[in-house]
Amino acid sequence: TGQRAFTGNTSGVIFDGILNRTPTPPARLNPAIPIQLEQIIAKSLEKDRELRYRSASDIRADLQRLKRDTDSSRALPFKSGEASRQKLRRYWPHFVWAGVLAILLLLFGLNVGNVRDSLFGGASQARIESIAVLPFSNLSNDPKTEYLSDGLTESLINSLSQLPNLAVMSRNTVFRYKGQASDPQKVGRDLHVRTILTGRLIQSGDDLTISVNLEDVTNNRQIWGEQYNRKLSNLVAVQQEIAGDIYGRLRPRLAGEERKLLAKRPTEDAEAYQLYLQGLFYWNKWTQADFKKAADFFTQAVQKDQHYALSYAGLADTYSLLGDAGYLPPSEAWPKSKAAAMQALDIDDSLAEAHTSLGLVKEHFEWDWAGAEQEFKHAIELNPNLATAHHWYGDYLTNMGRFEEGMAQTKKAQELDPLSLIINTTMGWQFYVAGQNENAVEQLRKVLDIDAKFSPARRTLEEVYAHMGKQKEAVAEREKALSLSGGAELAASIEEDFNKSGYKGVLQSWLDGLTELSKHSYVSSYSIAESYMRMGEKQKAFEWLEKAYEEHDSGLVSLAVEPMFESLRTDPRFKEIVRRMKLPH
């Protein structure tokens, strides 16, 4: 780049930069720099000594490897997109070498004398069965374009998950590496995958520069790399082009019908695609306000393209989570979710995401247990790599009292998405309802070690502690959840309530708050029933359970297995609710 990593008017400013500031990514100064070289530079400048190069010989080895791979890719070019054309030269030696190269290529293609295996250590013979697509770096200097790099990453994950016999790490897991100068070798070891796809994106006006690199981390060899210079208006096409190029490398003998299916574009409308990516961007933030933004963008996307099935599926999932979290009344959220899921399936019945969405509606709102299982199983048949389908099916099986089957599905979801906070929290909840309280605590602690602010894990851990009779620990988890989410004053009041009136006092204050909130917002009746149940007020709990039944509150789906309600299971009123819901018991 011709520029220093850290500059300043004084040595103090320069040292501060070395110790505390992140240098400008080299590709922002020179987009032609290979991704692998940028990774080497980033590792050299890493602040954490454990992640930095330990010796000059390590740097030299990586640079020599890069030179080898670069020279190799120049010698054996793979045409993709707008690959540059080279002029023929009239010098005889070049024709001689061209002839030699042609012979070598023929020997390579036929693998005569095991030439191909000798050159590449058998890599071409070994089937690649696992991949992680790391979050693309956004070098555009504009946070508003973050949805492009995130969306392109997620789109490629979704596309690659359609390939037969290829395990693809899910979004939640790979996005843990976002913003980090990650070493592909270490990521490969951590996630137990053979190949890593990295990339970067630069947007300038309507111009897009996208660079990608595919690496086999088992032998530290570059499989393929390419740079795409396109217009923003061609974003849909370039995403499909990149996916197609990767297909060609991972599955060169893919059948024509399979390749045709994989090449199918979800939309031809570039603006609709960008709106969909923005919807995904906000959906993945998992807050009430962001879910509503996501719904708005997904709605705009389907208004631009009424045949955009993926956007309808995104809209379905958004309304499902708004209903499941109690942000919207069940009567508003779930019918909207079902309508969007059905619209998606009318357009494309092979869309696994839409079948998963419909399965959740059938389970959490319609209480159509057989129909829900059918949708979840069909989604998994269509896309075995869809972690959400395994996750929600595992949750369903647990609600039906089929604990071993439920855990098996959740473990499959973990394999596909090992760092997913919500999937790992579900595993903790499954231990809890199966009566394995110590395992539940251990599992939920692991989740909080990854992200201490993840409130679903805190809430579940509080519930486990309360059921175990560890009220002090339960209150501590509630305090931490509030403190970490910015509610320091409320957390302090909880401690005060506990010191005065014990755990029952904490729950009563919480109920008072819910009652006040219900005057101007929807509050889940099931959550109020839970609070009364913990306080030991069974009559009040039954009153709110009946109200939850009338509303089709999604919390009721776990009623038959929820340990909190164990003492009610012999009560005729409880049995009557379970009977009306047709829950297995």
For residue 399, the enclosing domain spans 268-418
195/300 same-domain check:
no
pTM of the entire predicted model: 0.74
**Is residue 211 in some structural domain?**
yes
Which of 216, 57, 222, 22 shows the shortest CA–CA distance to 129?
216
Which CATH number covers residue 246? 3.40.50.10070
Six token digits for residue 9: 């008017």
Lowest average pLDDT, out of 70-74, 98-102, 187-191, 549-553, goes to 98-102
pLDDT tens per residue, range 293-330: 999 999 999 999 999 999 999 999 999 999 998 899 99
Q: What whole-number distance in Å separates Cα of residue 82 and Cα of residue 567? A: 69
**Is residue 548 in some structural domain?**
no
302/412 same-domain check:
yes
| Span 461-467, average pLDDT | 96
Six token digits for residue 110: 């036929």
pLDDT tens per residue, range 142-173: 888 888 999 899 999 988 888 878 899 999 89
237/334 same-domain check:
no
| Span 350-374, average pLDDT | 97
Six token digits for residue 378: 């069909």
**Is residue 154 in some structural domain?**
yes
| Span 367-383, average pLDDT | 97
- Residues 388, 394, 398, 403: is their CA dihedral positive or negative? negative
**Is residue 516 in some structural domain?**
no
368/394 same-domain check:
yes
Quick one: pLDDT at residue 374? 98
**Is residue 85 in some structural domain?**
no
State whether residue 133 is helix, strand or coil: strand
As separate numbers, helices (DSSP H) first and strands (DSSP E) second, the chain gives: 27, 6
Quick one: pLDDT at residue 174? 94
**Is residue 53 in some structural domain?**
yes
249/275 same-domain check:
no
**Is residue 104 in some structural domain?**
no
Cβ 474 vs Cβ 442: under 8 Å: no
Domains held by the chain: number: 3
274/258 same-domain check:
no
Say how many CA atoms lie within 13 Å of 371 toward its Cβ.
12
Given the DSSP bridges, would you call strands 195-204 and 137-138 parallel, antiparallel or unpaired?
parallel
226/189 same-domain check:
yes
Given the DSSP bridges, would you call strands 130-133 and 195-204 parallel, antiparallel or unpaired?
parallel
Q: What is the pLDDT confidence band of residue 43, given thresholds at 50, 70 and 90?
A: low
- Of 223, 247, 265, the last residue of a domain is 265
Quick one: pLDDT at residue 126? 61
pLDDT tens per residue, range 417-457: 999 999 999 999 999 999 999 999 999 999 999 999 898 99
Cα–Cα–Cα angle for 319, 348, 168, rounded to 5 degrees? 80
- Residues 377, 381, 385, 386: is their CA dihedral positive or negative? negative
183/257 same-domain check:
yes
210/281 same-domain check:
no
DSSP assignment, residue 199? E
Q: What is the pLDDT confidence band of residue 337, given thresholds at 50, 70 and 90?
A: very high
- Of 69, 90, 117, the last residue of a domain is 69
Q: Which amino acid is at 304?
A: K
Question: Does position 141 have pLDDT exceeding 60, yes or no?
Answer: yes
147/227 same-domain check:
yes
Question: Does position 410 have pLDDT exceeding 50, yes or no?
Answer: yes
**Is residue 426 in some structural domain?**
no
252/273 same-domain check:
no
Six token digits for residue 327: 């942000």
How many residues are present in the chain? 585
- Of 365, 397, 418, the last residue of a domain is 418
Q: What share of the chain is helix, strand, coil (3-state, %, to 5)?
A: 65, 5, 30
Q: Which helix (H) or strand (E) holds 218?
A: none
pLDDT tens per residue, range 564-581: 999 999 999 999 999 999
Six token digits for residue 71: 């020279």
